[in-house]
């Protein structure tokens, strides 16, 4: 099966490298800027294409990997091409926010269609390619195209999870909270470290083992179990001290700190309730 990509950016370059490693043939890349297609094709030893119909004509799996806002335009472009054997070709997109519905015009003219959203933050294509072995792909249930897609991911060794098409935007919101706002939260923490007097150039490196230990704790524990720190321990005075210092030195961080604190308390509510009941039972028995 030959694989093609329309949109030669971060995701398609990493996927091309990965699928090639898994033994699939990468037919090539088409992109708005031919230079992007050339770069991705060079890295994956495939063809940079300036003709969309040649690329699609020569491929069986066609990924639309443009920015989300461009998918509709690309679908329109493909619809107008005189391609043979459309029913043997699977066209899919990698967007986490758009559903299968955006590919409906292609389904109507005979193409198989699917979506496969990789749950990974793509940046450097080579780092992403290494990580792709462990990545889960979010797919939607569809009448055509699904069996082929699950077979494909099984062959690659990737797991898939089903997304409800009607709730896909919510699914993508969750992915953004995790992958984007985690970075925003880290940035807030770095700013507080800097205000505390830690050398700016040391902060990221010095805190990396701390961050990694948090991720490691989450590998085999749920959030409540993995949580550490003053709220988990019930050290209320420590939390008060944090708030006082923020009030004095970084009032702009207070809202974020207290909001996160409230969410943390909410997460622990059941557990604290249980602890309270055990404590009450003990004191009644004394």
Ligand X SMILES: NC(=O)c1ccc[n+]([C@@H]2O[C@H](COP(=O)([O-])OP(=O)(O)OC[C@H]3O[C@@H](n4cnc5c(N)ncnc54)[C@H](OP(=O)(O)O)[C@@H]3O)[C@@H](O)[C@H]2O)c1
Residues linked to residue 112 through DSSP beta bridges, in sequence order: 90
73 binds ligand X (CB under 6 A): yes
28 binds ligand X (CB under 6 A): no
CB 106 within 8 A of CB 66: no
158 binds ligand X (CB under 6 A): no
Which range of residues in 116-124, 130-138, 208-216, 275-283 is near ligand X by CB under 6 A?
Answer: 116-124
CB 66 within 8 A of CB 11: no
Which range of residues in 5-13, 42-50, 162-170, 262-270 is near ligand X by CB under 6 A?
Answer: 5-13
92 binds ligand X (CB under 6 A): no
CB 3 within 8 A of CB 26: yes
10 binds ligand X (CB under 6 A): yes
Quick one: 121 or 243, whose CB is closer to ligand X? 121
Please state the closest distance from residue 7 (CB atom) to ligand X, in A: 3
Quick one: 63 or 246, whose CB is closer to ligand X? 63
What is the contact mask toward ligand X in residues 199 to 238, using x (rule: CB under 6 A)? ----------------------------------------
CB 140 within 8 A of CB 96: no
Give the strand order in the sheet containing 2-6. 47-48, 25-30, 2-6, 61-64, 90-93, 112-118, 136-140, 159-163
- Long-range contacts at 122-128 (CB < 8 A, ≥ 24 apart): 122/10, 122/11, 122/14, 123/10, 125/10, 125/13, 125/14, 125/17, 125/43, 126/14, 126/17, 128/10, 128/11, 128/14, 128/18
Quick one: 137 or 253, whose CB is closer to ligand X? 137
Residues 6 or more apart whose CB falls under 8 angstroms from that of 205 comprise none
Quick one: 36 or 264, whose CB is closer to ligand X? 36
Please state the closest distance from residue 37 (CB atom) to ligand X, in A: 7
CB 250 within 8 A of CB 192: yes
Which range of residues in 114-122, 162-170, 207-215, 273-281 is near ligand X by CB under 6 A?
Answer: 114-122
180 binds ligand X (CB under 6 A): no
Instruction: List residues near ligand X by CB under 6 A.
Output: 6-12, 31-33, 36, 65-68, 70, 73-74, 93-96, 117-118, 120-122
């Amino acid at each position: 099966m030959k694989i093609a990509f329309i949109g030669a950016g971060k995701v398609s370059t990493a996927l091309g490298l990965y699928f090639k490693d898994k033994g699939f043939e990468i037919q090539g890349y088409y992109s708005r800027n031919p230079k992007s297609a050339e770069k991705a094709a060079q890295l994956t030893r495939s063809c940079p294409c300036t003709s969309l119909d040649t690329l699609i004509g020569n491929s069986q799996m066609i990924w639309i990997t443009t920015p989300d806002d461009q998918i509709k335009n690309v679908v329109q472009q493909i619809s107008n091409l005189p391609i043979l054997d459309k029913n043997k070709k699977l066209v899919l997109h990698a967007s986490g926010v758009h559903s299968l519905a955006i590919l409906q015009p292609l389904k109507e003219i005979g193409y198989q269609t699917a979506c496969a959203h990789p749950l990974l933050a793509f940046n450097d294509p080579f780092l992403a390619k290494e990580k792709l072995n462990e990545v889960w792909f979010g797919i939607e249930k569809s009448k055509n195209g699904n069996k082929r897609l699950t077979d494909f991911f099984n062959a690659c060794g990737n797991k898939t999870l089903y997304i409800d098409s009607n709730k896909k935007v919510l699914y993508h919101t969750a992915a953004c909270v995790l992958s984007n706002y985690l970075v925003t939260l880290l940035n807030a923490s770095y700013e507080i470290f800097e205000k505390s007097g830690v050398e700016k150039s040391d902060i990221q490196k010095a805190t990396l083992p701390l961050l990694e230990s948090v991720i490691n704790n989450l590998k085999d524990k749920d959030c409540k179990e993995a949580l550490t720190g003053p709220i988990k321990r019930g050290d209320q005075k420590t939390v008060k001290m944090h708030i006082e210092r923020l009030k004095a030195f970084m009032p702009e961080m207070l809202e974020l700190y207290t909001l996160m604190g409230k969410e943390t308390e909410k997460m622990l509510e059941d557990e604290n309730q249980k602890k309270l009941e055990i404590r009450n039972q003990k004191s009644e028995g004394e």
